[in-house]
Amino acid sequence: GEDVEQSLFLSVREGDSSVINCTYTDSSSTYLYWYKQEPGAGLQLLTYIFSNMDMKQDQRLTVLLNKKDKHLSLRIADTQTGDSAIYFCAESSNSGYSTLTFGKGTMLLVSP
């Protein structure tokens, strides 16, 4: 079956880089996503990567994909206190309709 695993918690200091890791099991995933959820809010799409890419950069965000190991990471450069939130990794499935399988989320806490 499909499963997405993430570490539950990460704490960094403001200005440092943050790296959030994710592993997934569905080798047929076409897209992998990172969503951000702030307290009391819905999920905000941060970025996504197509499965035939190994890296995508978008301003302070860098996504690395190791398809062989089914490992996805999100690096946030120069982390700010406003980056404190829960980050969800999700993989798309090819089951005939568009569905996502989410991890349980990584809580990122950025201290001043």
Partner 1 sequence: ETGVTQTPRHLVMGMTNKKSLKCEQHLGHNAMYWYKQSAKKPLELMFVYSLEERVENNSVPSRFSPECPNSSHLFLHLHTLQPEDSALYLCASSQRLAAEETQYFGPGTRLLVL
Candidate residues 92, 106, 108, 110; the one interacting with partner 1 per rule CB under 8 A: 92
One-letter amino acid of 40: G
Using CA atoms in the order 10, 87, 16, 59, what is the torsion angle rounded to 10 degrees? 170
Q: Does 77 bind partner 1 (CB under 8 A)?
A: no
| 9: contact with partner 1 by CB under 8 A | no
Contact set for partner 1, span 20-59 (CB under 8 A): 31, 33, 35, 40-45, 48, 50
Choices 14-22, 53-61, 69-77, 91-99 (CB under 8 A): range interacting with partner 1: 91-99
Q: Which two tokens stand for residue 52?
A: 């035939």
Interacting residues toward partner 1 by CB under 8 A:
4, 31, 33, 35, 40-45, 48, 50, 88, 92, 97-105
